Chain A
Amino acid sequence: MATSAADAPLTVSTDGTAGPYVVVVSQQLGPVIDAMRTEGIGFRVDQDAVMLDGAPALAVINLGLNADVDRVQAILDRVADDLQSKGRRRLRSPTREVLIVRGNPGEMQRLRKRIDSGVHGGWDRRTDVEERFQRTLPPQAVAYCFSKLVPAVERRAAVLMQGRGSGMGEELHLSEVVPLEGHGQFDLDQRNRVVSDFRETFVKPLAQALGVRVVDRSVSAVPNLEELLSTEAMAQLRAFARAANKGDSHELDLQQWAGFIGQTHLDNAVVDLDQLEAWLADDGFTEEERRALVREFESGRRLLSAYDDERLE
């Protein structure tokens, strides 16, 4: 899931032995690169973006072993301020922890040898699960499963990691966290506690003194409206919100709202009404206006669907 450029932190990381680096979301990449170029900072961007749930949401900028970390951080702070001033304020949505380990093939091979060498941090290797997991992945994929009774959630958890990159050896990312026993999934908080335990007791000790990077971040756990709607529908929604007389709605506003409704219908978009209302709230519409607009949206879509059905019959 993408995080927004306005929300994502911009920090120089110094863990590992491969030199300081910066992890950026795709919208931050251009502004950060431009700012560093302007300041004469040397860097190299990893060719492959780091994947999050299949979305290339993050990129790693390597600064080199001799980088002036304080100077780069000052540049990043300026870029972050600038992006926040331009970015749209977002409602605080629930987040989940992601975990990615990256390195060159040699270093990742050393890491994998350490993984193969036995139990670490109380996490047992589950080769039985790995075999089943492997069957659900592309043939060349690397798959790992570890399990532990995690004290923070008082439940046995299975953490699945899979590889990506050339030969699937240059990146391992946390694919899923699943309860090993019983019914129901972990809630977000429990999931994050398991990831935190895995990172601190398994991944970080294993990665120590290796030239690999442990990238951990919180990302939005729910897709936002911008990700769910087409660019045309979002453009209509934004145009409506910009032009609307908030607190004193006008007939013209409703015409623009109808345009948005029509566009979502043309797109066949399934719109979560709570999410739509939250977007409107975030944009300054009163509760009364929001309710009226959502009602209008529902009835508009119902009418358009009925019209389509009539035409088909």
Chain B
Amino acid sequence: MPSIADVVASLVAAPKPVICLDTCDILEVVQCLDWEKPGTPRSVACIKPVRHLLTTLAVNPDRALVVVTDLVHTEWNQNIDGIRKKAHEFLAKIDKIVGSSYNAAGLVGTALAVYDPLASKPLVDDLVSLSTALLAQATRLDLDPALSSLALDRVMDKRRPSHDGHIKDSINFEHYLELARRLRATGFVEAVAFVSKNRKDYWEGDKDRIHPDLKPEIDDPTVQLQFFGSLTATLPNMGL
């Protein structure tokens, strides 16, 4: 697993835009098969940019470097089975809802086309494959104890993104800040982006821009880390 110094060295040798991902960005392509709230399914708009990013990198791997921390990798592995299960349950629920309408139709003689249950389709497995492919595409940063210690400071000080006491977001954030900082120190001019759909900890309310508490840190001239609330917003800004 490469350290931040290793990744910086490879990027200095072959510069390209950098996209740092949060765990939720990678899990989201499966997690979107769930309810936003009772009766309202989540948007599946997150799938398209992931597909687009992976295809673009398949055509030309030098277009961008996708980066995750080792913690993101661990979190993905901890959560994917539960999310897969929930996605299956979601499809089963949809089948049940449609089945109920079909029962009603049968009772009054309304003609409907044959319904092919979603639960029997490989949709969830295919989405898990896509999520796995995105994770596999990413370079996995080794965790640096000094940066994890800075993350702990944020927890102690109740500073974003650990203002509510959780350390994981700060561990990722500190590593991405440091990656950007070390790249800029070499004169690296390509874009370095951090993507997170985590509204509670990073967003300014419902706006997909960085929270004012964190803005000075990412805008610092020695860092210049761009923030995006989704890959949909990230890719056009990175020329992808």
Residue of A179, A228, A268 contacting most chain B CB atoms (<10 Å): A268
B55 touches A228 (CB 8 A): no
Inter-chain CA distance A302–B209, complex, in Å, is: 13
B37: which A residues are within 8 A, CB to CB? 266-267
> Taking CB as reference atom, which chain A residue is nearest B136?
A135
B197 to chain A, nearest CB (A): 10
From 153 to 197 in chain A, residues with beta carbon under 8 angstroms from any chain B beta carbon are: 158, 160, 175-176, 178-181, 183-185
Per a CB cutoff under 8 Å, which of A137, A175, A302 touches B205? A302
Inter-chain CA distance A179–B240, complex, in Å, is: 10
A160 touches B60 (CB 8 A): no
**Contact size range, A:** 35 or more
A268 touches B36 (CB 8 A): yes
A136 touches B36 (CB 8 A): no
B130 touches A178 (CB 8 A): no
Per a CB cutoff under 8 Å, which of B44, B57, B239 touches A54? B44
B59 touches A309 (CB 8 A): no
Residue of B45, B55, B200, B236 contacting most chain A CB atoms (<10 Å): B55
A180 touches B40 (CB 8 A): no
Instruction: Given A138-B126, A268-B206, decide whether A183 and B58 contact each other with a Cβ distance below 8 A.
Output: no
Binding-face segment, B19-27, B46-54, B82-90, B94-102: B46-54
Task: Tell whether A231 is near chain B: CB-to-CB under 8 Å.
Answer: yes
B60 to chain A, nearest CB (A): 7
B55 touches A135 (CB 8 A): no
- For B, the interface residue count at a CB cutoff of 8 angstroms equals 39
Inter-chain CA distance A183–B60, complex, in Å, is: 10
Task: Tell whether A36 is near chain B: CB-to-CB under 8 Å.
Answer: no
A178 touches B133 (CB 8 A): no
A230 touches B36 (CB 8 A): yes
B56 touches A228 (CB 8 A): no
B36: which A residues are within 8 A, CB to CB? 230, 267-268
B40 touches A232 (CB 8 A): yes
Per a CB cutoff under 8 Å, which of B56, B63, B125, B208 touches A176? B56
Task: Tell whether A270 is near chain B: CB-to-CB under 8 Å.
Answer: yes
Residue of B45, B164, B206 contacting most chain A CB atoms (<10 Å): B206
Inter-chain CA distance A308–B40, complex, in Å, is: 21
A274 to chain B, nearest CB (A): 14
Inter-chain CA distance A160–B58, complex, in Å, is: 10
A53 touches B48 (CB 8 A): yes
A270 to chain B, nearest CB (A): 6
B60 touches A181 (CB 8 A): yes
A132 touches B61 (CB 8 A): yes
Inter-chain CA distance A302–B206, complex, in Å, is: 7
Residue of A54, A265, A308 contacting most chain B CB atoms (<10 Å): A54
Task: Tell whether A209 is near chain B: CB-to-CB under 8 Å.
Answer: no
Instruction: Given A135-B133, A178-B60, A180-B60, decide whether A185 and B55 contact each other with a Cβ distance below 8 A.
Output: no
B129 touches A139 (CB 8 A): yes
B113 touches A45 (CB 8 A): yes
A306 touches B205 (CB 8 A): yes
Instruction: Given A135-B133, A265-B206, decide whether A230 and B40 contact each other with a Cβ distance below 8 A.
Output: yes
Instruction: Given A132-B58, A175-B55, A267-B36, decide whether A305 and B48 contact each other with a Cβ distance below 8 A.
Output: no
Task: Tell whether A129 is near chain B: CB-to-CB under 8 Å.
Answer: yes
B122 touches A136 (CB 8 A): no
A232: which B residues are within 8 A, CB to CB? 40
B30 to chain A, nearest CB (A): 13
Per a CB cutoff under 8 Å, which of B40, B54, B125, B206 touches A301? B206
Inter-chain CA distance A158–B57, complex, in Å, is: 12
Task: Tell whether A32 is near chain B: CB-to-CB under 8 Å.
Answer: no
**26 A-B contacts, Cβ less than 8 Å apart?**
A45-B113, A47-B116, A132-B57, A132-B58, A132-B61, A133-B55, A135-B58, A135-B136, A136-B54, A136-B130, A137-B129, A138-B129, A158-B59, A160-B58, A176-B52, A178-B59, A178-B60, A185-B239, A185-B240, A265-B206, A267-B36, A267-B40, A268-B36, A270-B206, A301-B206, A308-B205
Q: Which residues of A contact B (CB under 8 A)?
A: 45, 47, 53-54, 129, 132-133, 135-139, 145, 158, 160, 175-176, 178-181, 183-185, 223, 228, 230-232, 265-268, 270, 301-302, 304-306, 308-309, 312
Known pairs A136-B133, A138-B126, A183-B239 / 14 extra A-B pairs, C-beta < 8 Å: A54-B51, A132-B59, A135-B133, A136-B51, A136-B58, A136-B130, A138-B122, A138-B129, A160-B55, A178-B55, A185-B56, A267-B36, A270-B208, A305-B206
A-B pairs with the 9 shortest C-beta distances? A305-B205, A132-B58, A136-B54, A133-B58, A136-B133, A176-B55, A178-B59, A138-B126, A184-B239
